[in-house]
A = this chain, B = another copy of it.
Amino acid sequence: MELRDMLFMVKNGEISIEEAEKYFRKKSFEEMGYAKVDMQREIRSGYPEVVYCSGKADDHLLHIFETLYRENGEVLGTRASKEQYTLVKQSIPEAAYDEISRILKVEKPGKQKRGRIAVCTAGTADIPVAEEAAQTAEYFGNFVERVYDVGVSGLHRLLAKIEEIRLANCVVAVAGMEGALASVIGGLVERPVIAVPTSVGYGASMGGISALLTMINSCANGIAVVNIDNGYGAGYMASQINRLAEREL
């Protein structure tokens, strides 16, 4: 029953004040709930549900992909295995899989890419995480400039590319080991930098905790950090920022 219907019933005396009051008390939670937020997701922001594939049961995954594909005409999955790709492909032949980023998706063709996000990595081993960020951002309609393998141990590589990076509305800096890349980029560009620590490293890198601490303690301005290896999260936030920058006021 809709809110409006209830109000009509009150007006017409079809329901007592007491019963209506009870209804509204109970409704107050539900009201704010499901539909409203869903509306935001689908209509206002254009960010449809994204599927975290890792660990999902086969039939569960397939069902989710089929449902989202039917409703939205496209669907994005992260952390997918090759086996999951084979599975989904049998049902949705348009499904595509990228082994580097482990992204499994069905994407509407001819999507326009707007604005500019720079995705940078310190080393080549950081590329899988960076690709998760880049492809997530592209799926959400952003233009992405990739600037890979520009870690601080060979600073010239970064400096040679810095003007390209500066053109972006937002920079994603992906680095493992000591994670110094984010600080150096943060000191060279004026746009927000989203730092992604990766689990790349050995010894005392502690699975990315060391890089995370480096980035959180950065002495440069305009840097914020997401979870270790969380390329998706960085791509999502970069998309939010790039869209803000490109919207027409």
Within 8 A of B (CB), among A158-204: 159-163, 169-170, 177-180, 183-184, 186-188, 190-192, 194-195, 197, 199, 201-204
CB of A223 within 8 Å of the partner chain:
yes
Residue of B nearest to A156 (CB): B33
- Expressed in whole angstroms, the Cα–Cα distance for A28 and B162 within the complex equals 11
Q: Are B210's CB and A204's CB within 8 A?
A: no
Residue in B20, B25, B214, B223 whose CB lies within 8 Å of A214:
B214
**A34-48, CB under 8 A of B: which get 1 and which 0?**
101110110011010
Q: Are A156's CB and B34's CB within 8 A?
A: yes
CB of A247 within 8 Å of the partner chain:
yes
Q: Are B190's CB and A44's CB within 8 A?
A: yes
**Interface-lining segment among A67-75, A86-94, A103-111, A146-154:** A146-154
Number of A residues near B (Cβ < 8 Å) is: 107
CB of A224 within 8 Å of the partner chain:
yes
Given known contacts A25-B31, A38-B156, A217 and B245 CB-to-CB distance under 8 angstroms: no
CB of A96 within 8 Å of the partner chain:
no
Q: Are A156's CB and B32's CB within 8 A?
A: yes
**A50-94, CB under 8 A of B: which get 1 and which 0?**
100001000010000000000000000000000000000000000
Q: Are B7's CB and A21's CB within 8 A?
A: yes
Q: Are A233's CB and B221's CB within 8 A?
A: yes
CB proximity of A69 to chain B, nearest CB, Å: 20
For this complex, 16 residue pairs linking A to B, each with C-beta atoms less than 8 Å apart, are A3-B24, A7-B21, A10-B10, A28-B29, A28-B31, A34-B156, A37-B188, A177-B218, A178-B215, A179-B214, A184-B184, A192-B237, A203-B229, A204-B216, A216-B227, A224-B234
